Amino acid sequence: MSVAVQRPGIILTILGCFGAGSLYGWSGYLSAVRTEFGVGNAAASMVFSLALASFTTGVLLGPMLLARIPGRFRLPLLAGLASLSLGLSAINTGLTGFALAYGLSFGFFSGALYNHTVSIAATSSRATLLVPVSVAVFGLGGAVFGPVQVSLTAAGWGLWSIAPALGCLAAVAGAAVILDRPAISDVSLFAEPLAMTRPNRTIAALWVIFAAGSGAGLIVLGFAAQFLPKAGAGFGLSGLAIFVAAIGNTLGRLSATLTAGRFGPANGIAGALTLSMSTLVCLLFTTAPLVVVGLLFLVALAYGQLAATMPLLVKSLVTGPAFPSSFGWVFTGWGVAGLLGPWTAGWVLDATGTFRLSLIICIALAALGLWLVLRLAQKGTAQQKH
């Protein structure tokens, strides 16, 4: 069932997703956290690890939180609680309280708001446009708020450098209450109970596809500069590698509008995994710095396409009120990839001095994901013929 989008409502919802995406700007908040609590990178980064785990939980359990809340009240509730969590983070005087407010609370409501936005976009009549845009805007939140937090920290704002993100979420919550408009013109779909869906074989296959395909992109985004040979890894080229990977990820998410719309979500993901595999193979055989930078761009581009197309693939296989919970289950595959992928790659780099083994593992996982998505596509074609 698709529903017509009301423009003011969906714009507000996507703006809320933008504010929630400030979670990805953690690196811009890191120095303020270290200074405020007198801790090193390891202790401060544990807060971000907690936030990512809580974010994944929010994506999974958010629909249950919203189950008995009328559709038009869900956005102001989620945006308001996310804003409140950031406020509590800024006024905390101890690392434990900060970890609870930012890592546990903001992480959870950021994930719930992300699921809410993607669910509305995926069940709208313009899903192939709105889903990639929503996913891209979430990533853009980190790209915008992160540098802003760096500037405000340098200006002496400390933990309150999070204020712009807090203000964005508070403004969205307030505007949603004042306008009193649902995000969609027919809210009956979201007025139904959003019970937790039991995973089935289809959801399990989608989970494996998302987990297997995400690892390479998450490793590249986390270690872009470290892929360069030491002899060619100057400051300028390292910065270029990081920038190019971030741009590739964003463009990949936006380009999913075209690939999924023209070829269908299953074929779009198959194309993204094929691009990722072929690029990873090339990375095994080259150390030329500029070539490596170009290949990192392609891996990040493929990852962005996968991330933005996966909700559309879930939507094509799961419809109605079951979508938010089903997408939540599938998204935990990304959480596992985010937890194990960068950690394993870092361990391999320390042990061997290269990413070679990590690349081989990612190629094998992407091949598994490609095989599964092609099977799902064939199954869908066979069902349509009958």
Which is more confidently placed, 80 or 320?
A: 80
pLDDT (average), residues 251-269 = 91
Pair (293, 147) in one structural domain: no
Which is more confidently placed, 335 or 194?
A: 335
- Here the CATH number for the domain that contains residue 177 is 1.20.1250.20
In a domain, 34, yes or no: yes
Tokens of residue 103, six digits: 């890592």
What pLDDT, on a 0 to 100 scale, did the predictor assign at position 6?
60
Three-state DSSP state, 184 = strand
pLDDT (average), residues 30-51 = 82
Lowest-pLDDT choice from 59-73, 130-144, 173-187: 173-187
Beta bridge partners of 3: 124
Closest by CA position to 20, among listed 184, 146, 142:
142
Closest by CA position to 380, among listed 205, 122, 196:
205
Report whether pLDDT(208) > 90. yes
Cβ-in-10-Å burial (0-12, 13-18, 19+) of 338 comes to buried
In a domain, 1, yes or no: no
Pair (134, 89) in one structural domain: yes
What pLDDT, on a 0 to 100 scale, did the predictor assign at position 377?
82
Compute the mean pLDDT over every residue in the chain, rounded to the nearest whole number.
85
Pair (377, 316) in one structural domain: yes
CB atoms within 10 A of CB 178: 9
Pair (78, 225) in one structural domain: no
pLDDT (average), residues 80-97 = 93
Whole-number Å distance between alpha carbons of 337 and 118:
20
**Residue that is last in its domain, among 191, 226, 256:** 191
Closest by CA position to 221, among listed 184, 182, 247, 202:
247
What is the domain range of residue 326?
A: 201-385
Pair (241, 133) in one structural domain: no
Say which amino acid occupies 294: G
Lowest-pLDDT choice from 80-94, 216-230, 233-247: 233-247
Pair (164, 249) in one structural domain: no
What pLDDT, on a 0 to 100 scale, did the predictor assign at position 187?
42
Report whether pLDDT(380) > 70. no
**Residue that is last in its domain, among 159, 191, 223:** 191
Q: Taking the complete model, does pTM exceed 0.75, yes or no?
A: yes
In a domain, 265, yes or no: yes
pLDDT band at 69 (very low <50, low <70, confident <90, very high): confident
In a domain, 2, yes or no: no
DSSP H helices in the chain: 7-20, 26-37, 41-65, 71-91, 95-98, 107-122, 127-154, 163-179, 188-191, 201-223, 235-263, 265-284, 289-317, 322-352, 356-385
In a domain, 323, yes or no: yes
Cβ-in-10-Å burial (0-12, 13-18, 19+) of 174 comes to middle
In a domain, 226, yes or no: yes
Backbone angles phi, psi at 38, to 5 degrees: 60, 40
In a domain, 196, yes or no: no
Query: How much of the chain exceeds pLDDT 90, in percent?
Result: 43
What pLDDT, on a 0 to 100 scale, did the predictor assign at position 53?
86
Q: Is the CB of residue 203 less than 8 Å from the CB of residue 60? A: no
What pLDDT, on a 0 to 100 scale, did the predictor assign at position 191?
45
Pair (95, 54) in one structural domain: yes
Pair (236, 134) in one structural domain: no
Pair (324, 280) in one structural domain: yes
**Residue that is last in its domain, among 158, 191, 224:** 191
| Model confidence pLDDT, tens digit, residues 166-186 | 999 999 999 988 876 554 444
| Model confidence pLDDT, tens digit, residues 20-29 | 999 888 778 8
Report whether pLDDT(207) > 70. yes
pLDDT (average), residues 236-258 = 84
Three-state DSSP state, 30 = helix
In a domain, 164, yes or no: yes
Pair (187, 206) in one structural domain: no
Pair (181, 207) in one structural domain: no
Pair (230, 323) in one structural domain: yes
Number of domains composing the chain? 2
What pLDDT, on a 0 to 100 scale, did the predictor assign at position 303?
94
Backbone angles phi, psi at 124, to 5 degrees: -85, 170
